[in-house]
Each structure stands twice: as C-alpha cells, then as structure tokens.
Structure 1
C-alpha cells in the first residue's frame, strides 16, 4: 500500500508499506503501540483507524529516525495521512470478492467501487501485473 504524509507545515513524504515484509521484532513493537494483534492492526489501517494510522506513521518515520519515540509522532490532521491500496492489492481484493459468498447486488456494488479504485490507481501510473482490467458491469 502507498502511504503519503503531507503536513501543512512540512514536506510531503511517501512510502510503500508491505505488511508482509515487516520483521517480527518490528511487528511486535507495532502491536504493543497499537494495542492489538498484527492482523487487527492491518485491518484497522485499511479501515481508516486513526490510532492504527498513527502507529503506521511512527513505524515509517522510525525507518529514517531510529530513535523517534511514539510519543513524538506528529499530531497530524486526519487528511494529512493518506493510505491507498496499490493496483495489485486492489486486484487481489477483487479476486477474493468474486469468490465470496455474497448476494449478487452486494457483490456488484463492491465490484463497482473496486473498479473505481483500480482505475484511480492506474491513473496514478500503477500497473496490475498479469491482470487485465475489466468493468464488472459488462
């Protein structure tokens, strides 16, 4: 996923965050700061939890500033930290959604929303490896 921090009084920073490529020691620190397990942290980041996103920002900042304490993580405005799925992640979500046991009308609405997000990701210049983008309404 893509994480962009754009403070009003500072320079925009952008990171790629792959939850599958976080060392166990770092994941344990994240769990401690977040107050939940790794899977719930990942879910809450994607769901928009400010607490989870603040912990994520702290983790990303400590990659460059190794001694940054959690308490010193910037008190950002909610709109200053944006988390976006990559086109590849969105494609994987779409594949899982296609297999999910859902009512057709619910699935169709979710597919439309995912297709919009995939289009936006592609507009940002991302590629979906080995995937052809199709309109779910076809």
Structure 2
C-alpha cells in the first residue's frame, strides 16, 4: 500500500537506501543530505509499506518562490507513477506559492522528463551543458 505524506518521518537509513537504489550515486555525505531534508521547507514522501520509495523537497523565501532541490524515485519503482504522485501532492501543498523553480545539473534532460514537466505546467527557461532550469509560474491572488 502506497502512502503519501508531508511529514519528515524518515530515518537516515531510509534516505541512504532510496538515494543509493539506482546506478548513479547522487550524494557522498548522507549525514549532510539527511539534515538538508529535515531542514527543507516542503518535503513530500511516498512509502510502499515501510520502504521510502520517493521524495520531493524544496526551499525558498516562504511564500513567493520555492526551489525544488530534487525529485527522487526508488530505482525499483520505475513505472509506478511515484513521480507524478509526488509532484501533484507537492503542487497542491504549495498552492500559495507563485513561482516554483527546478534547477538541475544533470537530471530532467531526457525528452521524457522535459515532456513530463511541461505537462505538469513547467516551462523550460534555460539549458546549457551544465545546467537546466524550469519554472512553474502561477498567478496567486493574495
């Protein structure tokens, strides 16, 4: 059973298992990563039973701008809709945030990722050899 939560109820071991599930090592300092996750403004997780299988987290100025640090899905769940569940829940949680950015060095460059993010409302703002930048710009009535 898949459970989506906005609580930071994960252990360091949960984080290490998720972030090392794929072929690419995303981080080397998992203590620092774990502390960064706990300190994030927004953090949405997906669990399958007791296993952490997805996370999206962001930081920002509190109300107008949020910067998604990452969207990570467990490599053992490639076509289970985890990414969409994470992003949809995150966008609902941040409904009062007008600008949401995704800045990445390597991820979100595939045609699938670009199409998926555009389908979710993000616009590709810039792409260079080293960086790719997306923006979801929502009109919020304050």
TM-score normalised by the chain length of structure 1: 0.30
Pick the structure with more strand per residue. Answer: 2
Q: Greater RCO between the two (CA within 8 Å, min separation 6)?
A: 1
